[in-house]
Structure 1
Amino acid sequence: MQAKIAQTEKEMQDAFSIRMKVFVEEQNVPAEEELDEYDDTAVHVVLYDEEMPVGTGRIREADGYGKLERICILASCRGKGAGRMIMKELEYTAAPNISRFKLNAQTQAVPFYEKLGYEVCSEEFLDAGIPHVTMIKKRT
């Protein structure tokens, strides 16, 4: 598997396709909430297994943080290091000059992000009807 920064229209469509499969089809997030005004300015990463897109995420600057968002992996590729690859690409390649990161994690994913050095810094809240918490990390 290889993670890369999306630079072409096809790569961007690959990212959006994965988000639709995971968030809209699998998790029942309303389609109109999935794509937003930040898609045009964020840096998107797509993870490919051979030629097939299997994961994605994006990062943008917000309030002095690199805000990681829309991180998702196709069900068939979970538990195989795919999420870690996307996070590394987002933190180190897409945002090499950012020293603080923030994300809103689904509560079921908190242990994954904790293994990557993130710490919970908020109470639980609902986003698209799914329980989340905010997590932060400082680059070491």
Structure 2
Amino acid sequence: MPAIKVKKATEQADLDKINQIRYEVFVVEQNCPPHLEVEYNDESVHFLATVNGEPAGACRWRKTEKGCKLERFAVLKNFRGYGLGQEMVKTVLADLPADAGYVYLNSQTHAVPFYKKLGFETSGPEFEEAGIKHYQMVKK
């Protein structure tokens, strides 16, 4: 059983690892424009996920005018299927302020069932963001 850890990242070395993971998943794998991938980095709370000490995943949340938005969930290819995504979502939800109120995310369409299992439901029609189909999802 791999040792999975998800921690809040504040040190530059961890933030660099996060940026590398997100670049690999979003820019290289999914062809997202690099400038969109780093948007809102400075105002976000970042998390680094490791498997047996190896950088494996990244995510973040930030306050928006609507509420708290979970974003940029990325797991490197060779670490998928270990339950990393679920641990990242749980860790981020636990980190939100007590008065978070409206908690939401934009899920890639293929990931909707994953987020539904974690208590989110779709809200509104499918839309395109960075050339990829998404649904907005809200925490029940």
The TM-score by the shorter chain falls in which range? over 0.9
Shift of the alpha carbon at 1:89? 1.1
**TM-score normalised per structure 2:** 0.92
Equivalent residues in 2 for 1:87-98, closer than 5 Å: 87-93=89-95, 95-97=96-98, 98=100
Are residues 1:32 and 2:35 paired?
yes
Pairing partner for 2:59 from 49, 57, 60: 57
Are residues 1:86 and 2:88 paired?
yes
Q: CA offsets, 1:39-92, max 9 Å, x none? A: 111100110113321001110111342100111111111121100111111110
Partner of 1:101: 103
Q: Could you tell me how far apart the structure 1 residues matched to 2:97 and 2:17 are?
A: 24
Q: CA offsets, 1:16-53, max 9 Å, x none? A: 110000001111112122111x1111100110113321
Structure 1 vs Structure 2: percent identity of aligned residues?
Answer: 39
Aligned-partner residue type, residue 10 of structure 1: A
Partner of 1:17: 20
Q: Could you tell me how far apart the structure 1 residues matched to 2:44 and 2:72 are?
A: 11
Across the two proteins, how many residue pairs are aligned to each other?
A: 136
Q: Could you tell me how far apart the structure 2 residues matched to 1:50 and 1:123 are?
A: 39
Shift of the alpha carbon at 1:96? 4.0
Pairing partner for 1:75 from 77, 80, 83: 77
The RMSD of aligned alpha carbons is 1.1
Q: Could you tell me how far apart the structure 2 residues matched to 1:42 and 1:96 are?
A: 13
Shift of the alpha carbon at 1:7? 1.3
5+ unaligned residues in a row in structure 1: which ranges?
none
Aligned-partner residue type, residue 20 of structure 2: S
Stretches (4+) displaced over 2 A? none
Pairing partner for 2:6 from 3, 24, 30: 3
Q: Could you tell me how far apart the structure 1 residues matched to 2:122 and 2:113 are?
A: 10
Q: Could you tell me how far apart the structure 2 residues matched to 1:50 and 1:99 are?
A: 34
5+ unaligned residues in a row in structure 2: which ranges?
none
